[in-house]
Amino acid sequence: MANRVTIYEVAKRAGVSIATVSRALRGSPLVAAPTRRRVLAVADELRFRPSRAGRSLAEGQHAASAIVFPDLAGPYYSEVVLGYEEVVAELGRSVLILATHGRPNATEKVLELSGRVDGMVIMGRTVGDEVLTRIAETGVALVLLARPPAGPFDSINTDNEHGARGLVRHLFDDGYRRLRFVGDPDASPDVAGRYAGFVEAVDAAGLTAGQTPREPVRCTFDVQAGYEAARGVLGNRERPQALVCANDEVALGALRAAEDAGLVVPDELAVTGWDDIMAARYGRLTTVRQPMRELGATAARWLDERIAGGSPHPRHEVLRTQLVVRSSCGPHRSSTSQTSPTSQTSPTSQTPTKDSGPS
Amino acid sequence: MANRVTIYEVAKRAGVSIATVSRALRGSPLVAAPTRRRVLAVADELRFRPSRAGRSLAEGQHAASAIVFPDLAGPYYSEVVLGYEEVVAELGRSVLILATHGRPNATEKVLELSGRVDGMVIMGRTVGDEVLTRIAETGVALVLLARPPAGPFDSINTDNEHGARGLVRHLFDDGYRRLRFVGDPDASPDVAGRYAGFVEAVDAAGLTAGQTPREPVRCTFDVQAGYEAARGVLGNRERPQALVCANDEVALGALRAAEDAGLVVPDELAVTGWDDIMAARYGRLTTVRQPMRELGATAARWLDERIAGGSPHPRHEVLRTQLVVRSSCGPHRSSTSQTSPTSQTSPTSQTPTKDSGPS
DNA sequence: ATCAACTATGTAAGCGCTTGCAACGGGGCA
DNA sequence: TGCCCCGTTGCAAGCGCTTACATAGTTGAT
């Protein structure tokens, strides 16, 4: 361990018992002012810092909490973790993080982690519900984030279905009829929700399976995967008019594939993303913004309340998303009609719903 | 604390002493095979997990390490932290993070954190060198990252000076003469290095102070700040021909300010960034790439070696950067000469030094 | 002057685990 | 048959801290 100077040394030097040192340091009223001053002076001089392990053991608390997520790649999780860290630190707890990376030993790692915190936020597809139950049994508080409600746990989500329906309606209104979902609904609960909303809206709009195959074009979450997935589907003669992508990275890859295929965006092909990451703005990507930072922050606060022993009833919140329209979609012109010969994305074409200012 | 079932229960149920349980669980050879099996079975049945605090106290180790950085906003720190987390987790330690946010109580937080880890990576401008010394005295291993070497500590940096000189030379070769540095050298050691390299190269190129004021246009690290800083300096009649920005966010803001000012990029104004974040590609930003992920990963490995008690000599590494040329700069045409009337950034104008593929 | 009622401090019992050392029971060898 | 040695296991001493409870030392009231 680190700390060389212990409470015993302070006690000896200050001529008191370790109990008094402990009390003085934690501001107990059971210490006379002069004694407290003396102890504090000695502690300061010796640069004493109580051993965290000793305290944890004696108090039965860790003063720490964790967040578990599938991966840290891409801006989404970073933002969530940032929001989390900020609040937890403010609340006086240390912050542990763990990315499961879809590893087979994820469960073991999470269980291990659960042994050093008072509570943890569990995101998306990281560990199974059995693991949650097991952890909760040991007395660790739990909050679910971007993961469907389960057991007696609080949960925080965004309204993926609703957002996706709005997105599809917008595309429909712009004249797009042959849509295609790009992304793997099995990859995360969020994508599953987006896909569900997509299918719902497409059904509601009465689009035939011939126009819009319900089957998603599955791919992982990165730009490269989006590129390849899009390229595969854009080769067909009956290619889609709009690609509804699982997130912004995939969409950005799709955009690039469109460019490579010589397709004019948005005239011949619309592409939409999800999250509204920073690059989405510069890629002029229509997307659905979700309050990433706030997700993490809210989870942190709820967890804190749980650790403090909050209400017995699980809370569930579903945050709204916001459609952000940029020039990767727009009034659709049938690919049979005339199109401008060069690939140009007009920088001024579309007044975004919410995309102004330099920030 | 969390764990309800202790080593005592396992011992009782297995009909052995806690010592034997402990040995069996940690794979000591001092346990007969049948005993081990029995203990393991009971432990499994009871779902026993040794208390982390108990272990830490007895072992004098935390099996955890931390990384301290100024902020998590923006992709740079996220990437570094990601690289760090991945390696540390692989090495079997838990990962703590702490963002100082320039708060006044940062030192206190860092000291507190130091009490629950075996080692920590300290980034940039987070705490003073005195704090490092003090922490090291308690036996916690330290590695400095993106921070100048100090004391007996390992350090890892990127070659900001070199990268900046190359950048300036490139601009010079393209015909730009009136350059201006945008960003605050006091904000971080990295920016200080970039600024130093900028000044050096500008001096070496023989640019007069009238052409290129050495004085930086100070601003913080975000897009908004870059926008405002650029707008301020682009108003002048003797405005710069090129803005060398402290990082990509600032540059992206500057680009937007240029657009608002009706300036043609790169004909009338060049803008460069630093880091090569994802948005830089879509903003077509010339920038300097640094291996963010690798920085974190290397720091993690070095820290691990230090914790294990590595060599007594501090190691220092300076990683190379790489110029990434995109169309935010290019052959400069004097603003007095003819320029195309509309703001168009040619998508194909420049063959980037290293910017191909969809990934 | 006496005793109750405080106040300030010390004592000691944990918190759950690791590990040096003692103890015990056989087996092998003289 | 006796002794030594070795493989196993238990004992107990911490690791550094918190806190209920006991204990002096005061003070004020009677």
Span A165-218, pLDDT tens digits: 999 999 999 999 999 999 999 999 999 999 999 999 999 999 999 889 999 999
pLDDT, tens digit, for every residue of A49-85? 999 999 999 999 999 999 999 987 788 999 999 999 9
Amino acid A332: pLDDT = 73
Q: What is the mean pLDDT of residues B143-147?
A: 97
Q: What is the mean pLDDT of residues B341-353?
A: 32
Residue in chain A closest to B112 (alpha carbons) equals A49
Q: In what order do the strands lie in the sheet with B64-69?
A: A316-319, A154-158, A141-145, A119-123, A64-69, A94-99, B94-99, B64-69, B119-123, B141-145, B154-158, B316-319
Residue nearest to nucleotide D16 (CA to C1'): A54
Q: Kindly list the residues from chain A whose CB atom is less than 8 angstroms away from the CB atom of residue B78.
A: 72, 75, 78, 82
- A357 or B66, higher pLDDT: B66
**Residue A21 CA to nucleotide D28 C1', Å?**
30
| CB proximity A227 to B under 8 Å | yes
Q: What is the mean pLDDT of residues A258-283?
A: 95
Mean pLDDT of chain B: 90
Q: How many CA atoms lie within 13 A of B198 on its CB side?
A: 29
**Per-residue pLDDT for A351 more than 50?**
no
**Per-residue pLDDT for B80 more than 80?**
yes
- % of chain B beyond a pLDDT of 90: 85
Most confident of A72-81, A98-107, A343-352: A98-107
Query: CA B121 to CA B65: how far, in whole Å?
Result: 8
Mean pLDDT of chain A: 90
Q: How many CA atoms lie within 13 A of A109 on its CB side?
A: 30
Residue A326 C-alpha, separation from nearest chain B C-alpha, in angstroms: 14
B171 with B179: CB under 8 angstroms? yes
| Confidence class for position B237, pLDDT limits 50, 70, 90 | confident
**Per-residue pLDDT for A238 more than 90?**
no
Amino acid B142: pLDDT = 97
Q: Do the chains contact at B86 and A101, CB–CB below 8 Å? A: yes
| CB proximity A67 to B under 8 Å | no
Q: What is the pTM of this model?
A: 0.90
**Per-residue pLDDT for A338 more than 60?**
no
Q: Do the chains contact at A86 and B73, CB–CB below 8 Å? A: no
Q: What is the mean pLDDT of residues A331-342?
A: 48
Of B89, B277, B282, the CB nearest to A98: B89
**What is the identity of the amino acid at A326?**
R
| CB proximity B253 to A under 8 Å | yes
| Confidence class for position B118, pLDDT limits 50, 70, 90 | very high
Q: Do the chains contact at A57 and B51, CB–CB below 8 Å? A: yes
Q: What number of H helices and E strands is found in chain B? A: 13, 11
Query: CA B2 to CA A120: how far, in whole Å?
Result: 12
Q: Is A209 exposed, middle or buried (0-12, 13-18, 19+ CB in 10 A)?
A: exposed
DSSP line for B4-62 = -S-HHHHHHHHTS-HHHHHHHHTT-TTS-HHHHHHHHHHHHHHT----HHHHHHHHT--
pLDDT, tens digit, for every residue of B22-40? 999 999 999 999 999 999 9
**Per-residue pLDDT for A355 more than 90?**
no
Question: Which pair of tokens denotes residue A264?
Answer: 């004019």
| CB proximity B12 to A under 8 Å | no
- B325 or A340, higher pLDDT: B325
Query: CA B137 to CA A183: how far, in whole Å?
Result: 51
**Residue A279 CA to nucleotide D24 C1', Å?**
72
**Residue B40 CA to nucleotide D3 C1', Å?**
37
Residue in chain A closest to B344 (alpha carbons) equals A347
Residue in chain B closest to A116 (alpha carbons) equals B52
Query: CA B194 to CA B192: how far, in whole Å?
Result: 5
Q: Do the chains contact at B98 and A89, CB–CB below 8 Å? A: yes
Strands A287-289 and A322-324 turn out to be: antiparallel
Amino acid A3: pLDDT = 55
Cα separation of the two ends of chain A: 45
A243 with A232: CB under 8 angstroms? no
pLDDT, tens digit, for every residue of B148-202? 999 999 999 999 999 999 999 999 999 999 999 999 999 999 999 999 999 999 9
**Per-residue pLDDT for A152 more than 80?**
yes
Best A78, A81, A107, A342 member to test B by mutation, with max B CBs in 10 Å, is: A78
| Confidence class for position B3, pLDDT limits 50, 70, 90 | low
Q: What is the mean pLDDT of residues A291-302?
A: 96
Query: CA B144 to CA B81: how far, in whole Å?
Result: 14
**Per-residue pLDDT for B334 more than 70?**
no
Nucleotide nearest B39 (Cα, C1'): D9
- % of chain A beyond a pLDDT of 70: 92
pLDDT, tens digit, for every residue of A313-332? 999 999 999 999 999 998 77
Best B6, B56, B87 member to test A by mutation, with max A CBs in 10 Å, is: B56
Whether the beta carbon of A204 falls within 7 A of nucleic chain C: the reply is: no
**Residue A31 CA to nucleotide D24 C1', Å?**
15
**Per-residue pLDDT for A334 more than 80?**
no
Helical H segments across chain B, by residue range: 7-14, 18-25, 33-46, 52-59, 75-90, 106-114, 129-137, 160-173, 189-204, 223-234, 248-260, 278-282, 292-307
Which single residue is written with the structure tokens 């600032």? B250
**Residue A50 CA to nucleotide D20 C1', Å?**
21
Most confident of A220-229, A345-354, B2-11, B346-355: A220-229
Q: What is the mean pLDDT of residues B93-100?
A: 97
**What is the identity of the amino acid at A295?**
L
- % of chain B beyond a pLDDT of 70: 92
Report, in ranges, which bases of strand C sit under 7 Å from a protein C-beta.
Answer: 7-12, 14-20
Q: How many CA atoms lie within 13 A of B20 on its CB side?
A: 20
Q: How many CA atoms lie within 13 A of B99 on its CB side?
A: 21
- % of chain A beyond a pLDDT of 90: 85
Query: CA A52 to CA A95: how far, in whole Å?
Result: 14
Nearest one of A272, A245, A227, A262 to A344, comparing CA atoms: A262
Instruction: Return the bridge partners of B179, or none.
Output: B242
**Per-residue pLDDT for B357 more than 70?**
no
**What is the identity of the amino acid at B61?**
Q
Which single residue is written with the structure tokens 């990601």? B82
Report, in ranges, which bases of strand D sit under 7 Å from a protein C-beta.
Answer: 7-12, 14-20
Q: Give the Å distances, CA to CA, from B284 to A219, B175, B264, B341, B349.
A: 26, 19, 14, 20, 11
Amino acid B309: pLDDT = 86
Q: In what order do the strands lie in the sheet with A179-182?
A: A179-182, A242-245, A270-272
Best A5, A72, A250 member to test B by mutation, with max B CBs in 10 Å, is: A72
Window 270-309 of A, Cβ < 8 Å to B: 277-279, 281-283
Nucleotide nearest B53 (Cα, C1'): C16
**Residue B236 CA to nucleotide D14 C1', Å?**
73
Amino acid B155: pLDDT = 98
Cβ neighbours, 10 Å, residue B312:
6
Q: Identify the residues numbered 49 to 78 in chain A whose C-beta atom is closer than 7 Å to any atom of strand C.
A: 54, 57-58, 60
Q: Do the chains contact at A115 and B49, CB–CB below 8 Å? A: yes
| Confidence class for position A290, pLDDT limits 50, 70, 90 | very high
| CB proximity A185 to B under 8 Å | no
| Confidence class for position B238, pLDDT limits 50, 70, 90 | confident
Best A5, A9, A52 member to test B by mutation, with max B CBs in 10 Å, is: A52
Of B85, B111, B257, the CB nearest to A358: B257
**Per-residue pLDDT for B125 more than 80?**
yes
Q: Do the chains contact at B98 and A96, CB–CB below 8 Å? A: no
3-state SS of chain A is CCCCCCHHHHHHHHCCCHHHHHHHHCCCCCCCHHHHHHHHHHHHHHCCCCCHHHHHHHHCCCCEEEEEECCCCCHHHHHHHHHHHHHHHHCCCEEEEEECCCCCCHHHHHHHHHCCCCEEEEECCCCCHHHHHHHHHCCCEEEEECCCCCCCCEEEEECHHHHHHHHHHHHHHCCCCCEEEECCCCCCHHHHHHHHHHHHHHHHCCCCCCCCCCCCECCCCCHHHHHHHHHHHHCCCCCCCEEEECCHHHHHHHHHHHHHCCCCCCCCCEEECCECCHHHHHCCCEEEECCHHHHHHHHHHHHHHHHCCCCCCCCEEEECCEEECCCCCCCCCCCCCCCCCCCCCCCCCCCCCCCCCCC
SS3 state of residue B324? strand
Of A114, A139, A252, the CB nearest to B4: A139
Instruction: Return the bridge partners of A265, or none.
Output: none
| CB proximity B19 to A under 8 Å | no
Q: Kindly list the residues from chain B whose CB atom is less than 8 angstroms away from the CB atom of residue A89.
A: 98-99, 109
Residue in chain B closest to A256 (alpha carbons) equals B358
